[in-house]
């Protein structure tokens, strides 16, 4: 969920989840309430009731701690699908690591689709994203969705890559450059290079490539390891959303994996 939808939209937004619907074979709607919306619970429940989709993916500010009970009391089965934590950094304020001799981290306008698929598969293959909470959504299909998302992002705005002395790509970050912020969408280091300080160099390269004054990023709440890395680099937590999947009463939740 983008920074704009999460914090700045100022209203409840509802749209078809076209990519999820095609990928998982069930109709999906997405409803999101931004931090600035102030939407009352009855409007949220009315929007959920209006949806005819098999699954509604609802995201709302975590401060609304009483909402889940009401959602779980409705006709749909409510599945708590973790949270999204948003962090922010003023560009130029990152605590940059010392340069790595022989390594290069730059923004590249084109990255081969097969390479993107391989990198995302290696980096995010075990990532516990919100789809994992729903037995209607197979993990392999969810990963394919991340790969598709990364390919679209690279085609649109390129990617920041960290290459080793042999020119192999060791880390990848896809970004969405907006006027007021640069959002890091997917970012990670290949497993063989993790724990060696490579991630800080990737963040520094994203900071260099940013065309705005603010760098923003988000992850599932359980992903504390990467949040520690963000804190070390200088990011600060800004907002938390809860994710709830609301499954229609006619859909059995037997695993289809």
Q: Note the pLDDT tens digit of each residue in 110-152.
A: 999 999 999 999 999 888 899 999 999 999 999 999 999 999 9
pTM of the model: 0.93
In whole angstroms, give the CA distance from residue 153 to residue 141: 18
What is the per-residue pLDDT for 254?
53
Q: Note the pLDDT tens digit of each residue in 193-212.
A: 999 999 999 999 999 999 99
What is the per-residue pLDDT for 177?
94
Query: Which residues is 22 bridged to in the sheet?
Result: none
Q: How far is CA 130 from CA 3, 26, 145, 180, 252, in A?
A: 17, 16, 12, 27, 19
Q: Note the pLDDT tens digit of each residue in 47-68.
A: 999 999 999 999 999 999 999 9
């Amino acid at each position: 969920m983008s920074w704009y939808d999460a914090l700045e939209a100022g209203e409840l937004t509802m749209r078809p989840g076209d990519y999820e619907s095609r990928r998982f074979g069930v109709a999906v709607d997405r409803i999101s309430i931004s931090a600035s919306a102030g939407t009352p619970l009855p409007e949220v429940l009315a929007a959920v009731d209006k949806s005819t989709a098999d699954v509604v993916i609802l995201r709302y500010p975590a401060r609304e701690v009483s909402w889940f009970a009401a959602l779980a009391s409705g006709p749909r089965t409510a599945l708590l699908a973790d949270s999204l934590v948003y962090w922010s950094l003023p560009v130029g304020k990152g605590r940059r690591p010392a340069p790595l001799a022989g390594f290069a981290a730059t923004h590249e306008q084109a990255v081969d689709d097969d390479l993107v698929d391989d990198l995302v598969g290696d980096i995010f293959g075990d990532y516990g994203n919100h789809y994992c909470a729903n037995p209607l959504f197979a993990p392999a299909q969810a990963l394919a969705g991340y790969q598709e998302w990364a390919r679209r992002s690279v085609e649109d705005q390129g990617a920041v890559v960290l290459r080793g002395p042999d020119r192999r790509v060791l880390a990848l970050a896809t970004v969405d450059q907006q006027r007021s912020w640069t959002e890091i969408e997917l970012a990670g280091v290949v497993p063989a290079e993790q724990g060696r300080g490579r991630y800080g160099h990737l963040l520094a390269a994203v900071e260099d490539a940013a065309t705005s004054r603010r760098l923003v990023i988000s992850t599932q709440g359980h992903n504390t390891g990467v949040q520690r890395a963000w804190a070390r680099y200088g990011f600060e937590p800004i907002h938390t959303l809860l994710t709830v999947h609301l499954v229609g009463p006619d859909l059995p939740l037997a695993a289809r994996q």
